[in-house]
Chain A
Amino acid sequence: MMNLVLRRLVLFIPMWIAVSVLSFVIVHATPGDPAASFVGQDAGAASLDVAHRRLGLDRPYMEQLYHWVAGSLTGDLGQSYFLGRSVATAILERLPVTFSLGMLALLVGAVVGIPLGTVAALSPNSWKDASTIGVSLTFLSVPEFVVGMLLIYVLGVELRWFPIGRYAPLSDGVGLWLHHLALPALALGLSQSALIARMTRASLLQVLGADYIRTARAKGLPEKIVIGRHAFRNAIITIVTVIGLSLALLLSGAFITEALFQLPGIGSLGVSAVLRRDYPVIQGLLLVSSSFILIVNILVDIVYGLLNPTISDR
């Protein structure tokens, strides 16, 4: 087990270097000039020169690249052009929002998705199966922003049950925090629930067809124990993988949902950074999100081991 985790951790270093070089190259290859966005559309050429010098954009390409990669290896992600703070601070400020949204959305996804998938798997090809699959297909195919806009219109503007376009940190109180995050978490969680429901159904069906389930039933075990202890325990491996992947995606920022609900998370930070060409922030975000994917993968491996001890021996 430790071996596996260590091997994955060693992978971190080449990944970090590769992503920092790649992100720099990609970001700098996009047309556009951060200085022009900073100084404003009415600014003349002389003003741009001053801004280029101040932002360090007048230095040679290779020097800027070296500076960035070397800095990132020591944990220094540089200074944002537009946010008046360091990239690390900017990301740390936004993380709680994205974490809150991601966790809540995942909770919605799991709470809705796992029962739906289980119900469908227990009576395959019945009307229950068809309707749960129908519902999950709908959530999967309707984009989050459509669900989000419907929620905003009905529950926000018409009924006024939920505030829209703002965020309250956990420090303002759990109630307020939940109230502000409910709509975006629902919008995001419903599409995740569809994926989780489908994976739960598929994996549970596969397990239910296995010999040991037939044996358990033949032994006369009650159905509760057959499903709960024998089938579900084995099916959960696949479900955890899906949840892990969802988590990694959610933590790297739900770009559209955050933009729609004006939540100041990683996703909206990324969108605005791209629009105004805040190079250091885009690069920093790419690095941080790739690290998340790696970390979540390691965590998923650890959870596998806990759920099924045979895996960790491999």
Chain B
Amino acid sequence: MTILKSTTLSSVMILACAGAAFSATCETKGGKIQAAMTANASTMDPILSTTNASRQIAIHLFESLVSLDQNYKVIPQLAQDWKRSDDGLTYIFTLRDGVQFHNGKALTSADVVASLKRFLKISPGANRFRAVTDVVAVDPKTVKITLSQDFPLVTNLAMPSPVVAIIPAEIAEKYGDKEVRGTDVIGTGPFRLVDWRPDVGIKMAKFENYVTDQRFDGPTGFGGARTVCVDEVNFLPISEDASRVAGLQTGELDFAEAVPITAVPQLETIKTIKVEIVKPRWAIVLELGHKNPLMASLPFRKALLSAINAEQVMRAAAFGRPDYFRVQPSIFFPEQTQWHSEAGSEVYNKPDLNKVKAYLAEAGYKNEPVVFLTNQNYAWMYKASQAIAAQWQQAGINVKLELMDWPSQIKRAQTNNDWAINQTGWSPRFDPFQLTDGLHCKAVSSFGYCNEKMEQLLKTINSGASDAERQAAWTAAQKLTWDDVAVLRIGDYFEPEATRTALGGYQPFYVTPRFWNVTKKGN
């Protein structure tokens, strides 16, 4: 019999409460929030997509056993608590009492088992859970998860991309590997789905029977004690930047995601509009094609790095507005205190043409063309690429910028070897195991990068080792990323979002607007 130990849940919860910044109750009730988003969600099935657009919807409609707080730490959500066996191979989750689905059914362990099993079978996030061998219901309030190998199970369950959503068992069984649709889109979240019309909008209404999680003082991160103050929220996909700005000005919109930086000065002159900067938002990153013979040479990669003036690049990407970028070397953002590390960053943002020359000579570079893939779907990516290409050209590197559209670029980067540099942006990672795909030998997205030392570090990061051990392993991995020039991280790019002052209590967070504990004045 394995021995099960309770987690240090109380300490987790104290931290969570400290992070709560929203008001815990509603000053006014009722009203409708019109929120303009840049992209369409491609599905209402919460577990099928990792896109921002899907997550934005899913965190309002669905809940998981555990979630993340304001400081990106794990907090309980549908779970009352959990116990981990000493060998780390068995977890027992107890469910909270009184939780209801949108269709009025009470949450039981059968729902959790069916939802997790479906997730493990068809979700793009399933590969993180390869070591899960079984999920069973012990009794109506208890679920047992068995693993073949110790790994950070609870942190993985808390990841919001995709949300490990709990849905009613009969719906999980009815749809199986098909996409859940229509009126069957049912969760336990504070909002319920009313209507999804692609390209028109997603209408959600307050879930009247939502039971606020009383263990928290207020909302925090993706969870906590959430209370819905408005009657309705409409997520409207408005891809045209100018239309989002115009809608805010006319008062038809209450919230606009990613307004263009160039429109900020104009918006700031309007008293009823508040512009805020979302931090963290994007890391501007260059992925390197290590299968390319030139890129396989470490001196050549070092030459590329030594030619980059990160500050100049970031300035170009952010239209010269210093509030919208940060020159910073760590893959994890400074806000993510647990994982942020500047190890190995002595080489970052130190442009030195003499060094470039020496490295190029060492690599035996003979002016071969260096193919650099980029796109205009993301204006900031394109601006960064142009600035970097100019710096490399100045340093004597024959770079060829190739412009594609975003889906074609992803496809080419993943299937062809005819490129050297791939311009991309990374959204904030929550835990280092999410970097495995980009640094692990056999991963498609590591594009041929392979280092035995990195493999060992990733093994520790993906194991059930203690927080301290995993932290040390990540610091070493971050240093190795710079030593090996595995990828090139250029800097942090932030985006403005704007709200009308009629929205009370709205707080920007990560890349996801949250409309619980937000009021709408003047109804």
Contacts and interface: CB of A to CB of B under 8 A. Distances in A.
Our verdict on whether A and B bind, yes or no, reads: yes
Interface of A: 30-34, 36-48, 50-51, 54, 81-85, 90, 93, 149, 152, 156-157, 160, 163-167, 259-260, 262, 264, 268-269, 272, 275-277
Contacts of B177: 54
A40 B246 contact: no
A33 B250 contact: no
B407 A37 contact: yes
Q: Which of B42, B48, B196, B424 has the most CB of A within 10 A?
A: B42
Contacts of B426: 42
B240 A152 contact: no
Interface string B188-211: 000000001111100000000000
B5 interface: no
A275 B38 CA distance: 14
B50 interface: yes
B145 interface: no
B408 A157 contact: no
Nearest to B127: A46
B408 A32 contact: yes
B437 A44 contact: yes
Contact of A156 (B50, B250, B404): B250
A166 B407 contact: no
Bin the interface of chain B by size. Answer: 35 or more
Contact of A40 (B49, B200, B444): B49
A26 B470 CA distance: 49
A50 B181 CA distance: 19
B443 interface: yes
A234 B197 CA distance: 47
B35 to A, nearest CB: 13
A185 B52 CA distance: 34
A264 B202 CA distance: 13
A31 to B, nearest CB: 4
Contact of A164 (B42, B52, B181, B247): B247
Which 10 pairs, one residue from A and one from B, show the smallest C-beta to C-beta distance? A47-B124, A45-B444, A32-B407, A40-B50, A44-B437, A40-B51, A46-B127, A31-B408, A82-B42, A83-B198
Contacts of A44: 127, 437, 443-445
A269 to B, nearest CB: 7
B26 interface: no
Nearest to B243: A165
Given A40-B51, A40-B161, A165-B246, A45 B43 contact: no
Task: Find the residue from A39, A260, A269 having the highest chain B CB count within 10 A.
Answer: A39
Contacts of A165: 238, 240, 243, 246-247, 252
B127 A160 contact: no
Contacts of B247: 164-165
Interface stretch (B16-24, B70-78, B92-100, B409-417): B409-417
Contact of B410 (A36, A90, A264, A268): A36
B410 A82 contact: no
B461 to A, nearest CB: 15
A30 B427 CA distance: 27
29 contacts: A31-B408, A32-B405, A33-B411, A36-B407, A36-B410, A36-B414, A39-B51, A40-B52, A40-B54, A41-B425, A44-B444, A45-B437, A45-B444, A45-B445, A48-B124, A50-B127, A54-B179, A82-B40, A83-B198, A84-B179, A85-B198, A93-B197, A152-B246, A157-B246, A157-B249, A164-B243, A164-B246, A264-B197, A277-B407
Given A45-B443, A47-B50, A82-B198, A39 B250 contact: no
A259 to B, nearest CB: 7
A222 B170 CA distance: 79
Contact of A264 (B42, B43, B199, B249): B199
Contacts of A93: 197
Contacts of B411: 31-33, 36
Contacts of B427: 42
Nearest to B245: A157
B71 to A, nearest CB: 21
A277 B408 CA distance: 10
A222 B42 CA distance: 65
B48 to A, nearest CB: 7
A85 B45 CA distance: 12
B414 A45 contact: yes
Contacts of A38: 42-43, 48-49, 51
A157 B250 contact: yes
Contacts of A269: 199
A43 B125 CA distance: 8
A41 to B, nearest CB: 7
B181 A160 contact: no
